Amino acid sequence: MICTTVREGDDCVFMKTKGCSYLGGACLPIIDECNGCSRTSDYETGAYCTAAPDPSLKWKNGNCNIATHIKAAEAAKKQKINPIKASKRR
Ligand code: SF4
């Protein structure tokens, strides 16, 4: 349904006929770590994530798994090779 709270006009799965069903009745604004992510969007009510209703939860246990601005860093991290395993492969 179309949001009528903080992200007014956006289609949202949490919006129900009785209002927003998310905890607290509305999305929470982005946090500092979200700056640079293309999933952020500015509304009259502030900046919100278009994919997660509470961005702080997405960063609670490390990097947000759907962030668009940390992919390069993630890829570099995955390419790191364990030197012990690498020596065994030779
Ligand atoms: S996708 Fe993750 S990093 Fe991007 S705005 Fe949403 S919560 Fe923040």
Secondary structure string (H, E, C) spanning the chain: CECCCCCCCCECCCEECCEECCHHHCCCCCCHHHCCCCCEEEECCEEEECCCCCHHHHCCCCCCCCCCCCHHHHHHHHHCCCHHHHHHHC
In this predicted structure, what is the pLDDT of residue 90? 74
- Where are the domains positioned within the chain? 29-89
Spatial distance between the Cα atoms of 70 and 68, rounded to a whole number of angstroms: 6
Q: Which of 23, 26, 21 is nearest to 7 (CA)?
A: 26
Q: For residue 40, give the ligand 1 atom closest to its CA.
A: 5
- Residue 50 and residue 41 in contact, taking contact as beta carbons nearer than 8 Å: yes
Q: Is the confidence at residue 47, as pLDDT, over 70?
A: yes
Q: How many angstroms separate the alpha carbon of residue 84 from the centre of ligand 1?
A: 35
* pLDDT tens digits along 13-30: 999 999 999 999 999 999
Residue of 49, 57, 74 to mutate, ligand 1, most atoms within 8 A of C-beta = 49
The answer to whether the CB of 40 is under 6 A from ligand 1 is: yes
* pLDDT tens digits along 57-90: 999 999 999 999 986 655 566 677 788 888 887 7
In this predicted structure, what is the pLDDT of residue 39? 95
Q: How many angstroms separate the alpha carbon of residue 81 from the centre of ligand 1?
A: 28
What pTM was estimated for this model as a whole? Answer: 0.76
**Range 34-44 average pLDDT:** 94
